[in-house]
Structure 1
Amino acid sequence: MTKHIFKITLLENGLNSIIKGIEYLNNYESNSKDLFDLKHGITFFHNGVELLFKEILSNKFGDEEIIDKKDSKLNEKYRIAKEKCISVFDLDKPVKTITFTTALQKITNQLKLDNNLKILLEQLQSIRNSLEHYGINKELEKVETLFLKLKFPMIDWLIENGISIPEALTKKWISLQQHILKNVFQLRGSTFIKEVNFEERHLEFSYIADYKKFIEHNPLTKISEDHFISYWETGNAKIKALNDGCVRILRKNPDLYSVSIKLMDINDIYSISINRDEIERFLKADFLEIENNWDDIFSNKYVYTKEYSLTFFDYFGTRNTIV
């Protein structure tokens, strides 16, 4: 009789958990708004990161590196595994492995880990611990934007340490970015955002205003070329998106200091870059005043009034023809 084996590798297990986590997060952001989808997304994602940490430690330093040496029956388990000629991980009562916190400490001490990424992962751990062991009462936007901030440093670090990132994971994370930018920051044209990157207190991203390039990046889109063209060619849509987006993001995320945005159409590259101090000087108002009087101080004038929107863009932005 053929025995069917239930086998999933540590690497497969970790990647699957991250993908499953992002699927739950996408479901939360795109339609459900069910806080338990958010909870499951965080829990799965955290589990996936922990498993991939162990995969990297095991590959670089051996399986001993991920075994919890505080296991009181460790020596006995080693003996039984040797007698049976199997791994200590395949015993009926296998060895215990290290926790997320210990894995993060080992990674920090033995491998190059950016301090900013370490802080973000500690925040993830704190949120997961609250959900796992008690309950949670945190500002929702800070939880959601954590996954924007994690994407690029996390993926870059995993690739640097030998983890091949599946295309499915990249696509799902891009979709999550767009949903968060749309829902948390309420950005114009969030569907047309191509790339997002966080670096400490700076956020940068780009819009696609060229339909052919948009299709290359979103092959499954249902947006027609006519709809796409009408969106970007209506009124002063490109300038509106850049002016509104850069100030809105700072308004909606006090942790950020600066924002840079690019928008690429067939002929030109539009760029804008601002920081908090520059905006407060230009508007002669601090961000508390801007928040409380958004329409009067900024939006009505520098987004919806063409003359002033162009003045704002000329001050902070540039437009260069593609050669």
Structure 2
Amino acid sequence: MKFTLIDNGADSLKSAYENIEKLDELLEGGQHRIKDAVIFLNHGVEILLKLILKKHSPSLMFEKIPFYMDAKKKLKHDTTAKNVFDIDKSLKTVSLLEALKRVEFLCDIEIPESLNASILYVNGIRNQVMHYEVDLSDDESSRLVSKLKFCYEESVKFLEMHIENLSTIIEDSRFEITHEDYEDQEAEIYAEMQYEMEREAYLEDMHYEMQREMREEQEAHEQEMMESMYTDSHHR
């Protein structure tokens, strides 16, 4: 298993989108969809903001830059470690709120106020979900769903300005195939191969038959010519 920052973030945004879309179909029982949308949207935005930071400098992703630099230095001389976390397990990346600040003030990328506010709102609900409990009225729940839709759309619009092909990557995320699907695909491939083999064999037979008929016609024509020449010479 390998999940890059963009894979991880896009996967979470895809899950958020699927849960948000499903809400429009439900009459009752959508609380878990709202919860999942909140968690995955918050996570996806946070991860992809860190990707933007990483593009400017990997150090910007880390809470304490000197600790990262020390781990990075040791990593160069450690052939068994894969990354800085293998060197220093206490390393922490920045929070979503800190990532927002660093993207805007260290990378000089302006984040629209409306988007920033919606991200902070969703993050506040996320913190309640993750660490305590949530108690929203029907009106507050409707407002949250509207905020989720706005936050998702505006986040993707903003992020894809700085991450190439993000929309396509999100669309292609969460792909999976079951054993049954695999077997069905294999059967289809085998059937297509069998059809092509039979078609080629048929075309070869047709070609051979045409060649045989042409030879027979040629031989018959030559026979007629010889008989005609023989008859003419005999009459003379």
State the distance in 1 between where 2:125 and 2:155 align.
17
- 1:96 matched residue in structure 2: 92
Query: Which residue of structure 2 aligns with residue 246 of structure 1?
Result: none
Determine whether 1:124 maps to 2:118: no
> Following TM superposition, by how much is the alpha carbon of 1:107 offset from its aligned partner in structure 2, in angstroms?
1.9
Distance across 1 between alignment mates of 2:73 and 2:30: 48
Q: Which of 8, 11, 36 lines up with 2:6 in the alignment?
A: 11
Please say which of residues 158-167 and 74-83 is displaced more in the overlay. 74-83
Answer whether contact 1:10 1:55 (CA < 8 A) is retained. Answer: yes
Given the alignment of the two structures, is residue 82 of structure 1 paired with residue 76 of structure 2, yes or no?
Answer: yes
Normalised by the size of structure 1, how large is the TM-score? 0.45
Deviations, residues 72-96 of structure 1 (Å, cap 9, x unaligned): x656634542321543145582731
Matched, 1:37 2:37: no
Q: Share of identical aligned residues, percent?
A: 21
| Bigger Rg over Cα | 2
Q: Which has the higher helix share?
A: 2
What is the TM-score with the length of structure 2 in the denominator? 0.61
Determine the structure 1 residue equivalent to 2:159: 158
- Give CA deviations for 1:193-242 in whole Å, capped at 9, x if unaligned: xxxxxxxxxxxxxxxxxxxxxxxxxxxxxxxxxxxxxxxxxxxxxxxxxx
SS at match of 1:160: coil
Q: Where do 5+ consecutive residues of structure 2 fail to align?
A: 174-236
CA contact (8 A) 1:11 1:55 kept: yes
Q: Which runs of 5+ in 1 are unaligned?
A: 1-5, 173-323
Q: Quote the offset at 1:120 in angstroms.
A: 1.0
Equivalent position SS for 1:84:
coil
Partner in structure 1 of residue 134 of structure 2: 136
SS in 2 for 1:161: coil
Cα deviations by residue, 1:225-271 (Å, 9 ceiling, x for unpaired): xxxxxxxxxxxxxxxxxxxxxxxxxxxxxxxxxxxxxxxxxxxxxxx
Task: Verify the 8 A CA contact 1:17 1:47 in the aligned structure 2.
Answer: yes
AA in 1 matched with 2:91: V
Compared with structure 1, are the counterparts of its residues 166 and 157 closer, same or farther at alpha carbon in structure 2 (3 Å cutoff)?
closer
Aligned-pair CA distance for 1:23: 1.8
Q: May I ask how many residue pairs the two structures share in their alignment? A: 165
Q: What RMSD over aligned residues (CA atoms) do the two structures have, in Å?
A: 2.8
Q: Which has the higher strand share?
A: 1
2:15 aligns with 20
| Equivalent residues of 2:71, 2:84 under 8 A apart | yes
